[in-house]
A and B are shown apart, each in its own frame.
Chain A
Amino acid sequence: MAAPDPTGLIACPTCDALYRERRIGADEVARCRRCGTVLAAPQSGAMTRITMLAGAALVLMVAAVSFPFLELSEMGLQQRSSVVDAILAFSDGRTAPLSLALALLIVLLPAARLLALLYTLGPMALGWQPWRHAALAFRWAEKMRPWAMAEVFIVGVAVALVKVAGLATVTLGPAFWAFCLLVLITVRKDSIMCRLTVWKTLSERHAS
C-alpha cells in the first residue's frame, strides 16, 4: 500500500492514532478517540493572554529574586534570606553542584521558559510574522516544562516554614508573595495554552 499524503493529517502524540484535521473552534476540546489525550483545546484570545501573563510572570520573577524572601528572628538574632541565599545554601563542600541545579530549577529554567514563550507568542499576539527561530524557541519551552519547578519550590517553602515555626519567628518578605503570584500566573498560563494551535499558527504565519 502506498503511503497516503501526510498533509492535513495529525497523529496523536501518545498513541499514534491518525486524524484528518478540521478547524477546531474556540473553547472546543479535541480528544484522541483511542487514548483520550487532549489533542487541541484552543481558547479565544489565548495568544494575547499568554503573552501578557508571561510578561507579568517575568517581572514578578525579577522581584522574587531581588527582594528579601523570608526573615527569621530568634533571641534577638535576625537572619534574612533571599531566593539566592536558598540556592547558595548548598554551595559549600560536597553539595556544591546542587547549587547550580537549584538555580536552574527554581530561577533560570522558569525564566528561560518565560522568555522563550514571549519570543514565540509575542509577535503572534500582535499579528506579526514569527521571529527567526521561533519554532526552536517554542520547542525548547515545551521541553523545559517539567524542569521548571517554581511551583514545587513554593510547596517546599511551605513545608520549611512549618518546620521552623516552632524554632523561631518567621516574617514573610515581599519576594515570597511575588513568588506565590508568579506560581499562580504560571499555572494559569500553562492551562490556557494549546500546543497544537500554537504550532499551527506558527506555520501558517510563516507561510504567508
Chain B
Amino acid sequence: MQAHGLEDALGTPRLLTARDAGLLGCRACGRVSAAGTGACARCGARLASRDPTSLQRVWAWWLAGLIAYIPANLYPMLLTSRFGHVRENTIIGGALDLAHHGDYGVAAIVFAASVLIPVGKFLAIAYLALSLKLPTALGRHGRHRLHEVVEFIGRWSMIDVFVVAILSALVQFGFAATINPGIAAATFALSVAFTMLSAQSFDPRLIWDAEERDSR
C-alpha cells in the first residue's frame, strides 16, 4: 500500500534512515531529534540510534527463558487427586490427556500454546539474532515478519498457566476431587516472561541496517 501523507525525507531518491541523516528516531512516538539528545522531547523515551546492548539483552533473556523451560517440562504442572489417588500431569501429559478424552481441538490449543509456541520462539529469536551476523536464507521482509509474529504470539503461551489457576480455584471438593498447581506452572510462567523480554529487547532496526550494508 502507498504511504499516504508521507514523503521521503529531503526528497532523496532512495530511502534515508534517521541514522544516515545524523538524526535520532524515537521508537516510542516516531519523533526525530538531533543527534546527542538523551530523551525524546515529545514522549520522554530514552533515545539511541541503535541500542548497543540490544543483542546482549536478547541473548541473556533468551538463555534465562530456556533454563526456566527445562523444569517447566520435567516437573508436574497439575496435581489431580480423586478419592485419595493423586495424579501428576506435566505439560505434555495434560495435552495428551485431553486428546485421550477426544477433545482434540482443545488438546491442539494447549499443545500449541505450551510446546509449539515456546519452542518456536526460542528458535525464531535465536535465528533473528544470528541472522544479523551470518548469511541467511530468509530476506529482510521475511525476518521482519518473523519478529512481528514472535512479538505478537509470545504472550499467548501464558494460556496453560491460566488454565492451571482456574482449575485449581474451581476444583476444590476435598476428598472427592482436588486440583492443585505444580511447581512447573511457576517456571513455565517465568520462561514465557523471559522470552517475551528477549523478543522485546531485539531492535528490529538492526535487520534493516544489514540490508544497507549488503547493498553497498
Contact = CB atoms under 8 A, between A and B. Distances in A.
B208 A6 contact: no
B34 A15 contact: no
Interface in A152-202: 152-153, 155-157, 159-160, 162-164, 166-168, 170, 195-196, 199, 202
A132 interface: no
Contact of B30 (A11, A36, A157): A11
Contacts, number: 261
A90 B185 contact: yes
Interface string B1-36: 111111111100001111111110111111111110
B169 interface: yes
Nearest to B103: A162
Contacts of A19: 3, 6-9
A90 B5 contact: no
A18 B16 contact: yes
A18 B170 contact: no
A149 interface: yes
A203 B42 contact: yes
A52 interface: no
A205 to B, nearest CB: 12
B18 A18 contact: yes
A142 B170 contact: no
A35 B140 CA distance: 9
A49 interface: no
A135 B44 contact: yes
Contacts of B29: 139, 195-196, 199
A98 B103 contact: no
Contacts of B183: 94-95
B101 A13 contact: no
Nearest to B140: A35
Of B18, B110, B141, B154, most A-chain CB atoms within 10 Å: B18
B168 A16 contact: no
A1 B95 CA distance: 61
Given A3-B22, A3-B23, A156-B158, A136 B170 contact: no
Nearest to B33: A6
A56 interface: no
B128 interface: no
Contacts of A101: 189, 193
Give 6 nearest A-B pairs by CB, closest first. Answer: A11-B25, A156-B162, A3-B22, A89-B168, A24-B5, A18-B9
24 contacts: A4-B21, A9-B18, A10-B32, A11-B26, A14-B208, A17-B16, A18-B23, A22-B5, A33-B8, A34-B15, A36-B144, A39-B30, A74-B177, A97-B186, A101-B193, A138-B43, A146-B155, A147-B196, A152-B155, A152-B156, A153-B162, A156-B165, A167-B171, A168-B171
